[in-house]
């Protein structure tokens, strides 16, 4: 799909709300083919971004990640 999409699940910290929103926006832009939707499509575009961001947050919250304990 797009090679420039960066991973949101990082080993050192959780994704921020802004990162999730930006990823959702990038996804909707890619799928819709619109960088900026027309006024007629703005509501549908914004709704899709919000729904994808919420779904992404749920996914990240539900993932089971093996935590490694770092010792020094």
What is the predicted pLDDT for the residue at 63? 86
- The model's pLDDT over 7-62, given as tens digits with 9 standing for 90+, comes to 777 778 888 999 999 999 999 999 999 999 999 999 999 999 999 999 999 999 99
Using CA atoms, how far residue 33 sits from 8, 29, 61, in Å, is: 23, 6, 29
- Alpha-carbon distance of 2 to 6, in angstroms, equals 10
- The pTM assigned to this predicted structure is 0.79
Helix axes 17-32, 42-62, angle to 10 degrees: 130
């Amino acid at each position: 799909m797009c090679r420039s999409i960066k991973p949101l699940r990082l080993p050192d910290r959780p994704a921020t709300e802004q990162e999730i929103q930006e990823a959702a926006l990038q996804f909707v832009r890619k799928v819709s083919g619109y960088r900026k939707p027309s006024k007629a499509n703005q509501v549908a575009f914004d709704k899709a971004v919000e729904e994808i961001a919420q779904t992404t947050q749920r996914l990240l919250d539900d993932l089971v990640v093996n935590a490694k304990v770092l010792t020094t």
